[in-house]
Amino acid sequence: MDCLPDAVVQYILSTISNAKDVASCNSVSKKWKESMPYIKSLFFSRSIFDNLKAGQTSDCIIMQLVMSIVKLEELVVYCPFTSVGLASWLLHVGSSLKNLELRMDNLVEQNTADESPSKLDCIQAARNLESLRLWGVLMVQAPKWDVFQKLQSLEIVGVRMEDPALAEALRATPNLTHLVLLGCEGLRTVWIELQHLEHCKLDFYGSGSSSLTLTAPKIEYLEVQGCSWIRVRETSCLKNLIIANNTGRVYLLDFGKLTALESLSIRGVQWCWDAINKMLQLASGVQHLYMKVEFTGDFEALLPFPEIDFVDFFKSHPKLKTFDVHGAMFAALCQKNSLKNVDSDFMIPCLEEVVITVRSPLNAEQKMNTLESMVKFGKKLKKMRIKILRMKSGHSSADDFFEDICRFRYMNHKLVSIE
């Protein structure tokens, strides 16, 4: 690199971000050392300071590197640090910093509540942030933030927080377009009102009984895990929707018209049938549908799905291209009267791929009829995958059913595969 122009060397070295590499480059030559202040990003790994000499601290070393950079735009710190150290770094680079990612480790630290200023409060110094990502956060009290006018992306992974603290944090970030909260513990009643939000992913940890009210007229992608009640009325832009609850029941879904919805995924152990039925009705124009709900029922009793008319279902979802359906929903499409309305004029116009998970040999004849009908009436069908998942039966009916599926696969080998 000695023969390269200084500007080219400076450009190449400016792409280095690992703090250990930056420190090494400072020792190579004068030219390299003079180029290092122009790097834009610094990354401190979790173990970078595991073998510090006596008298050295991670706070001081990070400060030295940060102060050596003219205009730092991105700072990622996974190694341990203190609130005092964080405050000193951000005081120096806060005005230029655009992206900040911190492993806070507050959830396992002692006396975090007495820390002053708190790590969360220190972030206020980086007033021009566009992206903020935090790991392991304790937010039982609202952070002392003014408004982050430029902040567009907020991600918090592993957090214990109270409802008012989240509300205050979101008031300080009114222009978010991207919000991710994963592994949230302690939230019960969540209200989110963000006029520019487009992408939202929420994962509530606990009993699965949280409630969510979301007001975001520009929302395009929404994923919610762990809520029993969800209200989203402004949905004209919503294209992708994922709702899951693995520990509780889904009781109530209150959505506006889903005219733009392209993909819908619903998962969980137990949903009230009214919630399932309402989502299927609202999502009439959906192209990609994934259903893995094991049972229905409004109370403790786990009930099977009611019978679903095969023809009505596909007529109600004429744009459906991919359909991934698990045991309970497939069984509901395979009841005695599910195929009674099928006639020679019926067709499934857009269906291209079907994934079916079978767990029981019950109603084997009806299930085979349903599989055959999908192939027969799916004029654009290109692929059908049948997954046999822990079929529970000690009776010969299970073997007979499996033989029927294998025969079906042989007769339609260009379309059908078995897993």
Per the structure block, which two tokens stand in for 108? 């396992």
Q: Are 209 and 189 in contact (CB under 8 A)?
A: no
Least confident among 133-137, 236-240, 356-360: 356-360
Tally of domains within the chain: 1
Q: What is the mean pLDDT of the chain?
A: 88
Does the pLDDT of residue 114 top 60, yes or no? no
Question: What DSSP string describes 102-149?
Answer: EE--TTT-SSGGG-SS-HHHHGGG-TT-SEEEEEEEEESS-------T
pTM, whole model, 2 decimals?
A: 0.91
| pLDDT value for 281 | 95
With H, G, I as helix, E, B as strand and everything else as coil, classify residue 189.
Answer: strand
Question: Please, how many CA atoms are within 13 Å of residue 269, restricted to the half-sphere of its CB?
Answer: 12
| pLDDT value for 245 | 94
| pLDDT value for 354 | 97
Does the pLDDT of residue 261 top 70, yes or no? yes
362 assigned to some structural domain = yes
Q: Mean pLDDT across the stretch 198-219? A: 94
171 assigned to some structural domain = no
371 assigned to some structural domain = yes
297 Cα distance to chain centroid: 27
Does the pLDDT of residue 111 top 70, yes or no? no
Confidence tier at 258 by pLDDT (50, 70, 90):
very high
Contacts with 28 (C-beta within 8 Å, 6 or more apart), sequence order: none
* Measured distance CA(260)–CA(258) in Å, rounded: 6
377 assigned to some structural domain = yes
128 assigned to some structural domain = no
Alpha helices by DSSP H, listed for 30-96, are: 30-35, 58-67, 83-93
* Measured distance CA(202)–CA(180) in Å, rounded: 6
b/e burial code for range 138-173 (CB count within 10 A of at least 16 → b): bbeebbebeebeebbbbbbbbbbbeeebbebbbebb
In the block, which residue shows the tokens 């520990």?
247
80 assigned to some structural domain = no
Cβ count near 233 (within 10 Å) = 12
Q: Which range marks the domain in which residue 370 is found?
A: 304-418
Does the pLDDT of residue 222 top 50, yes or no? yes
272 assigned to some structural domain = no
Q: Mean pLDDT across the stretch 148-177? A: 96
Angle (CA) 351 370 242, round 5°? 50
